[in-house]
Chain A
Amino acid sequence: MYRRRREAWSGIAWLLPALIILIGFRVIPIILSVRMSLYDWGMAGARAFVGLGNYAAVLRDPVFWQSLANTGWYVLFEVPTILFVSLFVAILLNQKIRGLGVYRTIYYLPVVTSIVAVSVVWRWILQPDRGLMNYILSWFHISGVRWLQDPRGLFQLIAGPSVQLPSGLRGPSIALLSLVLMGIWKGIGYSTIIFLAGLQNIDKSYYEAARIDGAGRWATFRKITWPLISPTTYYVLIMSCISAFETFAQVWIMTGPPAGGPLSTTKVVMYYFYETSFELWRLGYGAAIAFIAFAIILALTILQRLFLERRVQYG
């Protein structure tokens, strides 16, 4: 009996350092954040209880919806591209080729370098007048792309000037797509490494059996590789969705000042939250944005679980 109690106290004591920090900088802030979201909470501490008023206001706020749409376009264009390209690269690297280590290192380099540094470099590359990107494109007779400054939507450009699409359907702006482009470049190495590990975990005997049965490359991929790496695919999907949602530094560095332009087409949810809380100091409103965004991420994750997990085959 005595021993038990002592063990229990030691357990708590050993947890204490972690507990104190987590309670002080996670649990209490989360609770305070709930409270804050129910108030009209300004910089000077002047505050009035507004109940769910902030939430209602956020849901009626066109800028919030625009930032949500921007984030949505970003996720929609970046995540699937990363998924397919990195799976393709991983499959190439999984062949018995020489120099695997060198390729792995090269593709992984953007992952370890900071998002701040790569944003600075890419802003220079995407310079409309003297940027490297437009120079390379000029070899193919494409010129004058104003990468980070063009607010025109992709679908609107495809449809042409004769058709006027409604604002929600004009598609991601060229500026937002520039951020997507860099995001793909930066994110590919990470997913490639994860996929490569998944591929190398597949038992070789499956492939031998398939070869004996005379299965072609595509059939082997469809029937063996794809189902067996589905847990990895699922993991990569969730991770790249979450990191796409956290897009912030790119916006702050590449599309300003004022950041989030042109015409707010790169103002993603994370940036709108930052602007509201730390530039306008509307803390209650910012907290409501954070919770609504969190609820959306949560709903998406649950949806992905419902729809995809049934198809994921755990070995």
Chain B
Amino acid sequence: MRTSNFPIHLLLIIGGIAMVLPFFWMLSTSLKTPLEALRFPPTSWPSSMQFSNYTEVFRQIPLWRYFANTVLVTALSLFGVLATGVMAAYAFARFRFPGREVLFMGFLALMMIPLPVYLVPSYIILFKLGWIDTYAAMIVPWTVNIFAIFLLRQHIRQLPNDLFDAARIDGCSNWTTLRKVVLPLCKAPLVTIAVFNVIASWNSFFWPLIVTNSDKIRPLQVGLAYFSREQTTNYTLLMAATTLAVIPLILLFFAAQRQIIQSQARSGLKE
């Protein structure tokens, strides 16, 4: 039965090298001198490693600021998504009120509308609120994630009714039921939502590109994109900045690999 797996491994390894090579090249270039980076044929690994590239990047762009901005935006929008998501999902799953199903369908329909359709008027609304180039512009519109509401609602609806009856008999209010009964049972979907949301907001580019215009507010991705446009020749510094920008998420990925991959895989099985 068990034939030789050698050809399979060979194919997978070749593919794997292709996957990793760009990252290796990024790291390698980030440690070269500008002269060595431009040499052709290229050297695979720097002959003397220039760690000073990394300190130089911090001197040229406010990288700490970008980091802090990204962390702040990611954390606050995640907090919003979880809070609004849990409340809305509980309402859709447990309360009866007229128009509930229509409203829920409306939410789902909104999920299908692509960004360009609502982008410009949202920008104008943010402008009228005086929020352009503030954290609020990057956070507030993204404190609701319809997919999160959908996922949590499905999960809460699957919980047995007896559980809620028991809670009511014990005199629990809806708040207490939510906190003590529902949330502990929703760990898997909550982790999925958190994973999706952190990756998405850490990497988001289009929205912050449009609603920010100063270095003080800009998140990492936008800062890096502008830096890359200025640095069309100085690739060592650019690669150092890029390495710094991808490292936190790669570390997060290695730490939470299982959850990330499983929750993504699960999303494809939902139909």
B5 on the A face (CB < 8 A) = yes
Determine, out of B51-59, B119-127, B184-192, the stretch whose residues face the partner at the interface: B119-127
**Digit string of B66-96 for contact with A (CB within 8 Å is 1, else 0)?**
0000000000000000011101101110011
Q: Is B12 within 8 A of A121, CB to CB?
A: no
Identify the stretch in A15-23, A61-69, A167-175 within 8 Å (CB) of chain B at 4 or more residues.
A15-23
Contact (Cβ within 8 A) A253 B121: no
The 8 A CB mask of B27-49 against A (1 = contact, 0 = none) is: 00100000001111110000000
Report which of A4, A25, A113 forms a contact with B96, defined as CB distance below 8 A: A4
Which residues of B sit under 8 angstroms from A278, Cβ to Cβ? 210
Question: Assuming A121-B22, A124-B235, A256-B229, is B271 touching A107 (CB within 8 A)?
Answer: no
What's the Cα separation between A174 and B21 when bound, in Å?
22
Q: Are A93 and B12 in contact (CB under 8 A)?
A: yes
Which A residues touch B20, using CB under 8 A?
106, 109
* Contact (Cβ within 8 A) B12 A103: yes
Closest residue to A112 on the B side, CB-wise? B253
Q: Does A206 contact B (CB under 8 A)?
A: no
Would A106 and B19 count as touching, CB distance under 8 A?
Answer: yes
The closest CB in chain A to the CB of B94 belongs to A11
Decide if the interface of chain B is mainly helix, strand, loop or mixed.
Answer: helix
Chain A residues near B120: list those with CB within 8 A: 29, 33, 36, 277, 283, 286-287, 290
Inter-chain contact total with CB atoms closer than 8 Å: 264
A113-B2 contact in complex given A8-B95, A14-B95, A28-B125, C-beta closer than 8 Å = no
Identify which of B39, B103, B266 contacts A130 (C-beta below 8 A). B39
Listed residue (A97, A120, A290) with the most chain B CB atoms within 10 angstroms of its CB = A120
Q: Is B8 an interface residue (CB 8 A)?
A: yes
Whole-angstrom distance between the Cβ of A25 and the nearest chain B Cβ? 4
What residues of A have a CB within 8 angstroms of the CB of B9 in the complex? 97, 99
A116 surroundings in chain B (CB, below 8 A): 203, 205, 221-222, 224-225, 228, 245
CB neighbours of B88 from chain A (8 A): 14-15, 17-19
A58 on interface, CB distance cutoff 8 Å:
no
Determine the chain A residues whose CB is within 8 A of the CB of B172 once the complex forms: none
A51 at the interface (CB under 8 A from B): no
- Bound CA span A272–B261, Å: 34
Complex contact B16–A185 (CB within 8 A)? no
Q: Which of B95, B110, B264 contacts A10 (CB 8 A)?
A: B95
Q: Which residues of B contact A289 (CB under 8 A)?
A: 116
What 1/0 flags go to B1-26 for Cβ under 8 Å of A? 01001001101100110111111011
Q: Hey, which bits of chain A sit against chain B, CB under 8 A?
A: 4, 7-12, 14-15, 17-19, 21-22, 24-30, 32-33, 36, 89, 92-93, 95-99, 101, 103-125, 129-130, 132, 135, 138, 185, 188-190, 193-198, 201, 231-232, 234-236, 245-246, 248-249, 252-253, 256-257, 270, 273-274, 277-278, 283, 286-287, 289-291, 293-294, 297, 314
30 contacting pairs across A/B (C-beta < 8 A): A10-B174, A14-B87, A24-B125, A25-B125, A26-B110, A26-B118, A89-B12, A97-B5, A105-B253, A107-B15, A109-B20, A109-B23, A110-B22, A113-B23, A114-B203, A117-B246, A120-B238, A121-B23, A132-B42, A196-B265, A197-B266, A198-B268, A246-B114, A249-B206, A253-B228, A257-B229, A287-B120, A289-B116, A291-B117, A294-B114
